Amino acid sequence: MTVPEIERVAVIGCGTMGSGVAEVLARAGLEVHVLVSSAPSERAGRGRLGKSLDRAVRKNKLTESDRAAIVDRIRFTTELGALEDRQLVVEAIGEDDAAKTALLRDLSKVLRDPDAIVATTTSAIPIVRLARVTDRPGQVVGMHFFNPAPVLPLVELIGSVLTTDETMARADHFVTDVLGKQVIESPDRAGFVVNALLFPYLLSAIRMVGDGTATPEVIDRAMVKGCAHPMGPLALADLIGLDTTVAIADAMYEEFKQPLYAPPPLLSRMVEGGLLGKKSGRGFYDYSENGSR
Ligand code: 3HC
């Protein structure tokens, strides 16, 4: 018997990644449930989505009427039970091992469809660790989008040692044919493929700021103008979020014990000081109203 196409989808969390993934799903014509923890989280999530959609309209990637239809397809809820009929749930909360484990354990009890897939956008936690706490370890995958998710075409798909081939094939078909993204399959190793290459570069740039080699502005200009990168490494770290950057670096350092993955002291101190990058208004750059960005 063939498993039905995935049509009923949900995203958990509406932060930087969750709002981007919700937008991608809704833009693909799907009705999306978005589970948030509170009314303020919903307000913030709606704000993020609105800003991104406005930008897409400004860039002529979206018409005003498409924008309205996309917003209409997104339903917010604070009740986990509202996800019971979903065929795919993409978990996109912060990189907190205990929080993700507890959430996925509860989620798997709620899902009624025995074929439902649980996907996680984690960049830092082994997929198998999250899969094991669910009632369906064979149907848990990593679905790693890149920020900003509505713009960047790649998705890394990660199967754990417990994921079934059928789940991988369904997830691949969904991401490729329904979402229109490009898939690469990555092993369940810290950093997968992209971050294992990207992070040593970002962390080196932060070390260069820390040791006074050059300012963020100079380093970023060097890479944008000298290497044609769309943005420099410090602006990119701010976009990713410096707390997320530390979490990913920590995970890779723990797994491989190589100094090139160790979070530089400047990065750790900035996070401890609440400077989390674009999302908090300040990181290597100032994003406040009076700031330079
Ligand atoms: N919706 C749709 N399209 C959009 C858009 C939106 N909201 N915003 C921008 N675009 C399109 C533009 O129309 C343009 O497309 P075109 O070339 O076909 O005209 C393209 O995106 C680029 O836009 P711009 O040239 O206007 O430049 P922007 O300043 O808007 O681009 C950016 C912003 C896309 C963020 C670009 O700077 C970029 O690609 N930066 C690098 C981001 C990156 O490397 N992300 C990966 C982070 S790593 C990660 O996420 C993994 C995690 O685990 C850490």
* Cα 153 to middle of ligand 1, angstroms: 10
Q: Whose CA is nearest to atom 35 of ligand 1?
A: 148
150 lines ligand 1 (CB under 6 A): yes
Between vectors from CA 110 to CA 14 and to CA 39, what angle results, nearest 5°? 30
Coil, helix or strand at residue 76: strand
Please state the separation of Cα 220 from the chain's center in Å: 23
147 and 249 inside one domain = no
User: How many other CB atoms are there within 10 angstroms of residue 283's CB atom?
Assistant: 27
pLDDT, residue 200, reads 98
* Cα 247 to middle of ligand 1, angstroms: 23
Q: Is 173 a catalytic residue?
A: no
* Cα 198 to middle of ligand 1, angstroms: 16
Q: Is 42 a catalytic residue?
A: no
Q: Whose CA is nearest to atom 27 of ligand 1?
A: 230
pLDDT, residue 1, reads 57
pLDDT, residue 3, reads 72
* Cα Rg of the chain (Å, integer): 19
Count of domains for the chain: 2
Q: Within 13 Å and on the Cβ side, how many CA atoms surround 249?
A: 25
Per-residue pLDDT of the chain (293 residues; tens, 9 = 90+): 577 799 999 999 999 999 999 999 999 999 999 999 999 999 999 999 999 999 999 999 999 999 999 999 999 999 999 999 999 999 999 989 999 999 999 999 999 999 999 999 999 899 999 999 999 999 999 999 999 999 999 999 999 999 999 999 999 999 999 999 999 999 999 999 999 999 999 999 999 999 999 999 999 999 999 999 999 999 999 999 999 999 999 999 999 999 999 999 999 999 999 999 999 999 999 998 877 77
39 lines ligand 1 (CB under 6 A): no
137 and 205 inside one domain = no
* Cα 150 to middle of ligand 1, angstroms: 8
pLDDT, residue 124, reads 86
One DSSP character per residue, 221-278 reads: HHHHHHH--SS-HHHHHHHH-HHHHHHHHHHHHHHH--GGGSPPHHHHHHHHTT--BG
For 185, phi then psi, to 5°, come to: -90, 135
Q: What is the CATH number of the domain that holds 156?
A: 3.40.50.720
Q: Is 290 a catalytic residue?
A: no
**For residue 71, what are the CA distances in angstroms to 66, 81, 151, 162?**
9, 22, 17, 36
Q: What is the CATH number of the domain that holds 237?
A: 1.10.1040.10
Q: Is 195 a catalytic residue?
A: yes
From 41, 160, 186, 195, the catalytic residue = 195
210 and 176 inside one domain = no
Domain that holds residue 146: 9-186
Q: Is residue 1 domain-resident?
A: no
86 and 152 inside one domain = yes
